[in-house]
Structure 1
Amino acid sequence: MKTLIVELEKLLTGGTAHVGLKEATADIPFDLLGERPHGLPYSIWQLVEHIRIAQWDMLEFSIDASHKSPKWPDQYWPEETAPEDKNMWDKTLKQVDDDLKAFIELIQTKDLYAPIPQGDGQSLLRESLQIADHAAYHIAEIVVIRRLLGIWSTPKSSS
């Protein structure tokens, strides 16, 4: 079980088969966070805020029987294309990181296979895989937008 948890942690934080959110969002000029190049329907800001909302929802669902999820899809995506200010951007990145740490702590202390009582068959293992899959999908979109904006250089391998 310990091996599975270690592998889930790696999957959740990224950096094994692809960059993680920290690398994908590092050093982005603030004035480009709201750009939607080539007619794309979303900006980097909207993608990161969407990751934050969805991850928060999955964390809360996993720990709080009274949690009510936002309305899909309207409340999972911000309307504004850019954050109000740098503080808002930094706060969003911090919440994504804090919620991910809280989820990783949760999977270290709970049964990964037990059904979540307020769910309809979901388990912490399923939520772990869903958080990782969802984030990886949108992180790839962030990298594509950065490439289109000319602000991406592949991070050097840490291995």
Structure 2
Amino acid sequence: MNNQNKKLVNELSKLLTGGGAHASLKDALANLPVNLLGEKPHGLPYSIWQLVEHIRIAQWDMLNFCIDPSHKSPKWPDEYWPKENAPKNESDWKDAINQINNDRDEFISVIEKGDLYEPISGGNGQTLLQEALQMADHTAYHTAEIIVIRRLLGAWKK
């Protein structure tokens, strides 16, 4: 990998882990009381659990799209959003967070080893660079929503 690509991959890795100009998903979920995971503040359509599960599913889909040419994405939008407002138990919550972290780390390994500009096998011209930017953008967007919900519930640092 040439020096320019190495710099780009390093910046993408920072972006995917939440570094830079915004709070990371890890920050947004830190010290979150479990009893608030299923709460939907008045007028908002999603709970924190639903947002986290949506991030997990979408990120899993993007990762597998990049590594498996025969990957079939879930049906949009039904299979990208959980119906339940809250996880069944704390173990399901922890498992979701662990999968998000593991899939993100695996994706970072893929972009470190792959050609950022080569069309992805099985895709329609998408590249690893496009998928990395989409994954980072998607996670940042929903991270902000989680922070707003925490603010509305009085559970965000001041």
Shorter-chain-normalised TM-score: which range? over 0.9
Aligned to 2:104: 100
Q: 2:88 aligned with 1:84, yes or no?
A: yes
User: Mapping of 1:1-159 within 5 angstroms?
Assistant: 1-153=5-157
Give SS of 2:42's match. Answer: helix
Deviation sequence 1:42-97 (CA, Å, 0-9, x none):
00000000000000000000000111000000000000000001000000000000
State the alpha-carbon separation in 1 of the partners of residues 145 and 34 from structure 2. Answer: 18
Q: Shift of the alpha carbon at 1:15?
A: 2.7
Q: Shift of the alpha carbon at 1:110?
A: 0.5
Kindly provide the amino acid, as one letter, of the partner of residue 24 in structure 2.
G
Unaligned ranges ≥5, structure 2: none
State the alpha-carbon separation in 2 of the partners of residues 29 and 15 from structure 1. Answer: 24
> TM-score if structure 1 supplies the norm length?
0.95
Q: Shift of the alpha carbon at 1:38?
A: 1.5
> TM-score if structure 2 supplies the norm length?
0.96
> Which runs of at least 4 in structure 1 moved beyond 2 Å after TM superposition?
none
Unaligned ranges ≥5, structure 1: 155-159
Deviation sequence 1:110-155 (CA, Å, 0-9, x none):
000000021101000000000000000000000000000000015x
- Count of aligned residue pairs for this structure pair: 154
Task: Provide the identity percentage.
Answer: 64
